[in-house]
């Protein structure tokens, strides 16, 4: 579940709640329309687009910000290892041992304190058949962790944690190249979400 804030050009933001399924629909719509999509480290997303204001005939920026309701979390490399294990196992189960919760993903077992972290922050959810899957929040947070990009102080070199690097001819071009990189990885992310994942999210509502 996400908190949803829709910004308006007149400053009257509207606040609401978005289910995981609704958030996924918003992401796909943004992707189809070529809107800017930026995943946040918390596992949320900011969608931004331009619209021509009827009154002034000038472009105005609009945005939708989705923030997970279960609060901020900074992912660790260990979280990402757990994500990979969960994503690659056919059956992922949540069980108990000595009263503590334990996630089992194939041959891989996630320790109780890490299981609590994944469950309590909404990074995993149960499918209809009881098997656990990663949530949209987990996938967005992982995307944001992988792609932290920045322009160098002199403003012409762009680097990203994923290894992307480019030397632009001007600070303006550097900003454009950085935005283009984020846009490309966000589009690839939406495109990569499987039909199985989409069906599981839709069934969760």
Report helix, strand or coil for 194: coil
Among 61, 111, 162, 180, binds Zn ion (CB under 5 A): 162
* Residue range at the interface with Zn ion (CB under 5 A); choices 55-63, 80-88, 160-168, 188-196: 160-168
**Minimal distance, residue 160 CB to Zn ion, in Å:** 3
CA-based nearest residue to 95, from 84, 80, 105: 105
Question: How far is residue 169 from each of residues 1, 150, 175, 192, 198, measured CA to CA in Å?
Answer: 43, 16, 11, 32, 41
Q: Tokens for 176?
A: 């454009």
Residue 161 or 171 having the CB closest to Zn ion: 161
Contact stretch for Zn ion (CB under 5 A) within 48-56, 113-121, 152-160, 194-202 = 152-160
Comparison of 46 and 160: residue with beta carbon closer to Zn ion: 160
- Residue 187 makes contact with Zn ion by CB under 5 A: no
Which helix (H) or strand (E) is 38 found in, with range?
Answer: strand 36-39
Residue recorded with tokens 């000038």 = 58
Nearer residue to Zn ion within complex by CB, 61 or 162: 162
- Name which of 159, 204, 190 is nearest 34 in CA terms: 190
Shortest separation between residue 61's beta carbon and Zn ion, angstroms: 24
CB 119 within 8 A of CB 101: yes
Q: How far is the CB of 198 from Zn ion (least distance, A)?
A: 24
Is 164 an interacting residue with respect to Zn ion (CB under 5 A)?
A: yes
Comparing CB distances to Zn ion, the nearer of 82 and 147 is 147
Q: Are 66 and 2 in contact (CB under 8 A)?
A: yes
Comparing CB distances to Zn ion, the nearer of 121 and 147 is 147
Nearer to Zn ion, 104 or 186 (CB): 186
Smallest separation, CB 149 to Zn ion (Å): 6
Please pick, from the candidates 121, 139, 145, 147, the single residue that binds Zn ion as defined by CB under 5 A: 147
Distance in angstroms (rounded) separating the CA atoms of residues 118 and 24: 20
Residue 145 binds Zn ion (CB under 5 A):
no
Q: Pairing relation of β-strands 157-160 and 149-151?
A: antiparallel
Please report, as ranges, the residues that interact with Zn ion according to CB under 5 A: 147, 160, 162, 164
């Amino acid at each position: 579940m996400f908190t949803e804030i829709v910004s308006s050009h007149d400053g009257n933001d509207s606040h609401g709640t978005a289910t995981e399924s609704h958030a996924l629909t918003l992401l796909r719509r943004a992707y189809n329309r070529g809107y800017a999509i930026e995943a946040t480290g918390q596992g949320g997303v900011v969608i931004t687009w331009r619209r021509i204001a009827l009154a002034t005939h000038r472009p105005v920026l609009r945005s939708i910000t989705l923030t997970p309701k279960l609060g901020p979390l900074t992912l660790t490399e260990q979280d990402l290892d757990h994500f990979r294990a969960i994503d690659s196992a056919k059956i992922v189960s949540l069980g108990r041992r000595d009263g503590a919760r334990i996630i089992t993903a194939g041959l891989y077992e996630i320790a109780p304190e890490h299981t609590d972290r994944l469950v309590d922050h909404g990074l995993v959810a149960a499918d209809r058949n009881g098997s656990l899957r990663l949530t949209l929040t987990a996938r967005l947070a992982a995307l944001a962790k992988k792609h932290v990009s920045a322009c160098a102080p002199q403003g012409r070199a762009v680097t990203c944690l994923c290894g992307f690097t480019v030397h632009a001819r001007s600070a303006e071009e550097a900003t454009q190249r950085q935005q283009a990189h984020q846009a490309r990885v966000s589009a690839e992310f939406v495109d990569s979400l499987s039909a199985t994942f989409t069906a599981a999210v839709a069934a969760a509502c």
